[in-house]
Structure 1
Amino acid sequence: MMATEAELRRDLAASYRLAAMLGWEDTIYTHFSVRLPGEGEPRFLINPFGYMFDEIRASDLIVVDVNGKVVDGDAKYNPAGFTIHSAVHMAREDAHCVIHTHTLPGMAVAACDKGLLTLNQISAEFYNRVGYHPYEGVAFNLEERERIQQSLGDNIALILQSHGLLSVGETIADAFQVMYYLNKACEIQLAAAQMAALTQVSEIPESLAQYVCGQFKATESERQMVWQAWLRKLDRIDPSYKD
């Protein structure tokens, strides 16, 4: 059953609040979006520019079309955020939700020549499932959208080199879970790099990484269960995201 706009607003606002709680926010920068149901060109919910993640409510979210028009809401959006999110929504009908972050571990791995390494069970989930997009400067140029689409391909995540992380999912629960563990994999890599001067750091062999990645794919339905647990936690802390 397809989620209603009210449900999508609630869940997207929840994802912002949870991101703030987890330390993912970058003041008023970075952005999460979700595509709204309906025929025709995609329209999506995104955060109004100027809001901290911990203050976003369901009613604050604005609706933008892929031509850059705000069709519902009295606020502006981040232009670079529009470029990135509209690119994905235009190309991937299955990527209903798009999450983009500038976390310290994510930006550290985005600065590495070899990108994300398969160092741990968590990073094995992303074996051959992450794209890489070369840095072109702040994403104000709409012509970059086509190149972002090509870099993402059919992957569940994208590392924007010299920039940050991006995850996609059929639902907000999916994209949030992908980002949570992608960021965790980057944290592991950052910690391992700090120990590399003292001990050898080893990658999981490719054949085993592929096997473990398949195991993770078989449990993806559990993301909805995890998301409900996140919502219960947020409700205990501050349910005002629903307003």
Structure 2
Amino acid sequence: MAQPIDLTLEFYAPKAKADLDERELRIQLAAAYRLLDKFKMTDLIFTHLSVRLPGPEHHFLINPYGMMFHEITASSLVKIDIEGNIVGESEWPVNPAGFVIHSAIHAAREDLTCIFHTHTRYGIAVSALECGFLPISQFAMKFYNRVAYHDYEGVALELDERERLVKDLGDKKVMILRNHGLLTAGRTIPETFFLMYYLDRACEVQITAQSASTKLIIPSESVCEHAALQQNIEDENLGQLEWTALMRMLDREDPSYRH
């Protein structure tokens, strides 16, 4: 007799590895930079991804300011502390706005270790809409009632904005920065990539649908919540299945990110 299909996919999903060391986190974060470049989610040398390192020091890794995402390698990532001081040696500075945004969340959210911030075309477009992010696609449903908003205050260079960023994010992992872009935060780098990839895809679908200039179909609240629970973004292994495939792809195409 044929075995029934496991509709939960739990059998197939790799488990998130706990307690990655600095070298492993460097490799994963460098891979994430390369993936954002591959999927055209970059803004020249701007925007930033970071991961908090294990230990009580609250050190985290972020991109060298001035390097394109396709150039970033594990060893080129810059280690800084929560005050913005570079730890160790680096020939590169750190984006001041990146420090403000990332230090705020790393200091306040012990449950999250990784943060992505992007300026994608469709993410910025949705961030400028009064209606905000709409549940009009299956991509979007996973974020139903799970998106925070932060109003635009100018380039994020003022330290006092950190308190408002954290307050607006609340207990969520996804935030739309009004007139600015997208932010996702997760327990792992694979999870944070998964959230950003599908948040941006949902924004692309929304802008494409709205450009048709006809009435949108928005499912009922109960259906939207049901779909969100089906695609549970609180799953502890979120993004792991996709990440293993993405790493294989990167290693086939250009494994230099590991250096």
Tell me if 1:5 matches 2:22.
yes
Equivalent pairs counted in the alignment come to 240
Specify which of 124, 128, 134 is matched with residue 111 of structure 1.
128
Following the alignment from structure 1 to structure 2, what is the Cα–Cα distance between the partners of residues 164 and 113? 14
Counterpart of 2:171 in structure 1 is: 154
Counterpart of 1:201 in structure 2 is: 216
Task: Give the partner amino acid of 1:109.
Answer: V
Task: Give the partner amino acid of 1:76.
Answer: P
Counterpart of 2:251 in structure 1 is: 235
**3-state SS, counterpart of residue 46 of structure 2:** coil
**Contact preservation (8 Å) 1:120, 1:204:** no
Q: Using the aligned pairs only, state the percent identity.
A: 48
Counterpart of 1:38 in structure 2 is: 55
Unaligned 5+ residue runs, structure 1? none
- Equivalent positions of 1:17-28 (< 5 A) are 17-28=34-45
**Contact preservation (8 Å) 2:43, 2:120:** yes
RMSD: 1.1
**3-state SS, counterpart of residue 130 of structure 2:** coil
Residue 218 of structure 1 deviates from its aligned partner by: 7.3
Residue 219 of structure 1 deviates from its aligned partner by: 8.2
**Contact preservation (8 Å) 1:61, 1:73:** no
Output the TM-score relative to the length of structure 1. Answer: 0.96
Output the TM-score relative to the length of structure 2. Answer: 0.90
Displacement over 3 Å in runs of 4+: none
**Contact preservation (8 Å) 2:191, 2:238:** no
Specify which of 83, 90, 94 is matched with residue 77 of structure 1.
94
Deviations 1:9-62 (A, max 9, x none): 00000000000000011000000000000024x110000100000000000001
Following the alignment from structure 1 to structure 2, what is the Cα–Cα distance between the partners of residues 185 and 240? 31
Unaligned 5+ residue runs, structure 2? 1-17
Residue 108 of structure 1 deviates from its aligned partner by: 0.2
**3-state SS, counterpart of residue 179 of structure 1:** helix
Task: Give the partner amino acid of 2:231.
Answer: F
Task: Give the partner amino acid of 1:92.
Answer: R
**Contact preservation (8 Å) 2:190, 2:238:** no
**Rg (Cα) greater in structure:** 2
The alpha-carbon distance between structure 1 residues 26 and 218, as it changes in their structure 2 partners (threshold 3 A), is closer
Task: Give the partner amino acid of 2:194.
Answer: Q
Following the alignment from structure 1 to structure 2, what is the Cα–Cα distance between the partners of residues 157 and 207? 21
**3-state SS, counterpart of residue 167 of structure 1:** strand
Residue 2 of structure 1 deviates from its aligned partner by: 0.4
Counterpart of 1:91 in structure 2 is: 108
Following the alignment from structure 2 to structure 1, what is the Cα–Cα distance between the partners of residues 186 and 257? 21
Deviations 1:166-190 (A, max 9, x none): 0011000000000000001100101
**Contact preservation (8 Å) 1:33, 1:47:** yes
**Contact preservation (8 Å) 1:31, 1:81:** yes
Task: Give the partner amino acid of 1:209.
Answer: C
**Contact preservation (8 Å) 1:131, 1:157:** yes
Tell me if 1:224 matches 2:223.
no
Task: Give the partner amino acid of 2:109.
Answer: R
Following the alignment from structure 1 to structure 2, what is the Cα–Cα distance between the partners of residues 30 and 119? 27
- Equivalent positions of 1:106-145 (< 5 A) are 106-145=123-162
Specify which of 40, 47, 50 is matched with residue 63 of structure 2.
47
Query: Which sits farther off after the overlay, 100-109 or 72-81?
Result: 72-81
Following the alignment from structure 2 to structure 1, what is the Cα–Cα distance between the partners of residues 233 and 60? 29
Counterpart of 2:119 in structure 1 is: 102
